[in-house]
Amino acid sequence: MNNSIIQIQNLKFNWDKSKVPFIIIPELEVLKSEHLLIKGDSGSGKTTFLNLISGVLPLSSGEIKILGENLVDVSSSKRDAIRANHMGVIFQMFNLIPYLSVIENVLIPIHFSEVKKNKIRAKGIGPKEEAIRLLTELGLQQKEIHEKKVTELSVGQQQRVAAARALIGSPEIILADEPTSALDENNSMRFLDLLLEECKKNNSTLLYVSHDSRIHQKFQQSISIHDFTEDMPIAEKTKKEAVVCS
Amino acid sequence: MFIIKLALKSLLNRKFTVALTIFSIAISITLLLGVERIRIGLENSFSNTISGTDLVVGARTGDEQLLLSTVFHIGMVSNNISWHSYEDIAANELIDWTIPISMGDSHEGFSVIGTNEDYFTHYQFANKQHLQFQEGKAFHETFDAVLGADVAASHEYKIGDEIVINHGSGDIAFHDHGDKPFHVTGILQRTGTPVDQTIHVSLEGIEAIHIDWVDGMPDKHMHFSAEEVEHLHLEPEYITAFLVGLKNRTDVLTVQRQINTNKSEPLTAVMPGITLQRLWNMMGKIETALLIVSGFVAIAGLIGMLVALLTGVNERRREMAILRSVGASPLKIFGLISSESIVITMWGIAMGIAFVFLLLQLAKPILETQYGIYLNPSGISLQEIYIIGTVIILGILIGIIPGYKIYKYSLLDGMTVKM
């Protein structure tokens, strides 16, 4: 139980209170350092699920515990703080601020979290050195790239910058929302390998949302978002949860 | 601190659209304050036309018509006052001084008035300022003339120059008094009043050029040369009006009543201050129209600003989603966007104020010489502070709209933009 990073109990979420729930999760537990693939087609609710985990969307009912803290019981500002201090997020694309340099983009989370800043200081280095270290590990070692505007980078390079931004400050949870959808197959696999490796080094839990079935074998665990959405009978959902929590 | 840095970088990144937005706000503010300055300038110029005069007296007519013709040289009164009545009233022991005025002639579109030397002693304008000579002196001889500043400037007249007076007013004259030219003996300093557009001659001069005229035409049977006329008795039979200064201002109603009930000749005496105010109130519609125009200008400017700010909102939803993902609260995002909008508004207002002062400095000489409008180029009036304050408040309220929109989006979008 101490190893548990995310715990979900009887989660229900619907966009409109009068309608049937869009997502139902009777039980789900994600452990520390676990790499979980959440499969699902476009529009199936994967992103909504990540927004629930990150505390951006409020639950309709049930509970989500992040590092033991129940998101239902805390204020929205506390949920923002949990996200800032313990999570890193990678989106599909367009996920960098265009008028900031590569380094500035990587350092954004540091400005919102003292916890992340302190974790870097504990390593005996400054945030900028940590950003450079992460970029280098993700294959962006050339110094001139670091000061470039992100719009001057290729899509593949941009996604690595986004990964560095998610990883900076060693957050316990990395949420990745189809980060490879804009990349070709080679680049996708390379990016995914780098991300998994970095998560392993940091002992970060990775929740990776994708519709790409080819990456299935790279993950220790996988669930399908269809298991949790409204068109699935409850009995079926409960069966699937055993697979997830194994 | 980071949020401020981010806002500044974002503004710099959109410098062209931001500059255009600031510029459009600045133009609105410039127009708004500029119109206000001109309105105040007009009112001041109007009420400064005459001061220190207690009564303006003319033949029986409307108050406004008398003042317009006597002081502003607009229109004509239909009747004259006999010299005899004038002398009777001038002898009233409550009266300190009088300035007789005889009108009806012109030179190159400028009014010519016949008066006496008391005009230069007692006529006052603005804040009880007396007329000053920039060059030369008052008239002493029959054919001497003293020019207002604009008359001298428009034709580059100098002391000693000869001018010919036309019969009647207006730019086109059918008959002139070319046989009896006048000589410039003095040029007055600028006053910003109709005095600047006036040629002043003696009553004797006016009498001299009309002595051989009958029914507005030169008499076919009688002609006196300029030299001959000097030897004639040139006391006028009639004058158009006269200005009165009282020994004690509290007697004004008494004297006014005495003149208005004058038995020998129907006369009208008006108090210039009251009539000027009434005239300005009659022109109040112009003032209201100017205020409405400037109000619309400001509204157009603020709507333009809102459009520019809202256009930027959609472009920035992704940026806000990123900030949400790293822990920025919707309120922080609201603050970021609102403060950006407010900064833009403030810049626009500051630039607008700078434009107004710059334009006033540039336009001041033109407005003064061409239109006789004297603007106060420095200092901000209370009215202007109200205007600026209102625009700032509206600007802040408008700045909040995109902030609120982004706030709603960020609640809806979460960390991913659905577009």
Residues B61 and B183 in one domain: yes
CB B209 within 8 A of CB B177: yes
**A42 at B interface, C-beta within 8 A:** no
For residue B419, being part of any structural domain is answered with: no
Residues B257 and B335 in one domain: no
What residues of chain A lie within 8 A of the CB of B13, using their CB?
98-99
| Chain B residue with the nearest C-alpha to that of A97 | B319
Residues B165 and B230 in one domain: yes
Task: Tell me how far apart the alpha carbons of residues B86 and B203 are, in angstroms, rounded to a whole number.
Answer: 13
Q: What is the pLDDT of residues B131-141, one digit of tens each?
A: 999 999 999 99
For residue B408, being part of any structural domain is answered with: yes
Residues B290 and B266 in one domain: no
Rounded to the nearest 10 degrees, the angle between the axes of helix B330-366 and helix B284-315 is 140
What residues of chain A lie within 8 A of the CB of B4, using their CB?
none
Predicted local distance difference test score (pLDDT) of residue B35: 81
In the predicted model, is pLDDT for residue A170 greater than 70? Answer: yes
Topology of domain A4-244 in CATH is: Rossmann fold (3.40.50)
Residues B31 and B61 in one domain: no
Enclosing H/E stretch for A192 = helix A185-202
Residues B110 and B220 in one domain: yes
CB-nearest to A112 from B318, B328, B330 is B328
Beta carbons within 10 angstroms of residue A204's beta carbon: 24
Enclosing H/E stretch for B210 = helix B203-210
Task: Tell me how far apart the alpha carbons of residues A114 and B40 are, in angstroms, rounded to a whole number.
Answer: 57
Residue window 190-219, chain A: list those with CB within 8 Å of chain B.
none
For residue B326, being part of any structural domain is answered with: yes
Task: Tell me how far apart the alpha carbons of residues B347 and B341 are, in angstroms, rounded to a whole number.
Answer: 10
Show me where the domains of chain A are located: 4-244
Beta carbons within 10 angstroms of residue B33's beta carbon: 27
Rounded to the nearest 10 degrees, the angle between the axes of helix B272-282 and helix B15-47 is 140
CB B131 within 8 A of CB B186: no
Cβ-Cβ pairs closer than 8 A, A with B, add up to: 69
Using the 3D structure, point to which of B246, B270, B294 is the last residue of a domain: B270
Residues B113 and B157 in one domain: yes
Residues B300 and B192 in one domain: no
Interacting residues of B66 by C-beta distance below 8 A, sequence separation 6+: B56, B58, B77, B241, B268, B270, B275
What residues of chain B lie within 8 A of the CB of A92, using their CB?
416
Predicted local distance difference test score (pLDDT) of residue B418: 55
Please give, rounded to a whole number of angstroms, the shortest distance from the CA of B351 to a CA of chain A.
26
Predicted local distance difference test score (pLDDT) of residue B101: 95
Residues of chain B with pLDDT under 70: 169-174, 369-372, 376-378, 412-419
Task: Tell me how far apart the alpha carbons of residues A236 and A113 are, in angstroms, rounded to a whole number.
Answer: 40
Residues B356 and B250 in one domain: no
CA neighbor of A198 nearest in space, from A186, A208, A211, A210: A208
Residues B18 and B131 in one domain: no
Residues B293 and B226 in one domain: no
Task: Tell me how far apart the alpha carbons of residues B68 and B272 are, in angstroms, rounded to a whole number.
Answer: 10
Between B225 and A200, the higher pLDDT residue: A200
Number of domains composing chain B: 2
Residues B127 and B242 in one domain: yes
For residue B275, being part of any structural domain is answered with: no
Strands A205-210 and B213-214: unpaired
The boundaries of the domain holding residue B322 are 2-46+284-413
CB-nearest to B13 from A84, A99, A108 is A99
CA neighbor of B107 nearest in space, from B170, B50, B52: B170
CB A175 within 8 A of CB A37: no
**A245 at B interface, C-beta within 8 A:** no
Using the 3D structure, point to which of B241, B270, B299 is the last residue of a domain: B270
Predicted local distance difference test score (pLDDT) of residue B257: 95
Angle at A62 between CA A59 and CA A63, to 5 degrees: 85
Cβ of B327 within 8 Å of Cβ of A84? The answer is yes
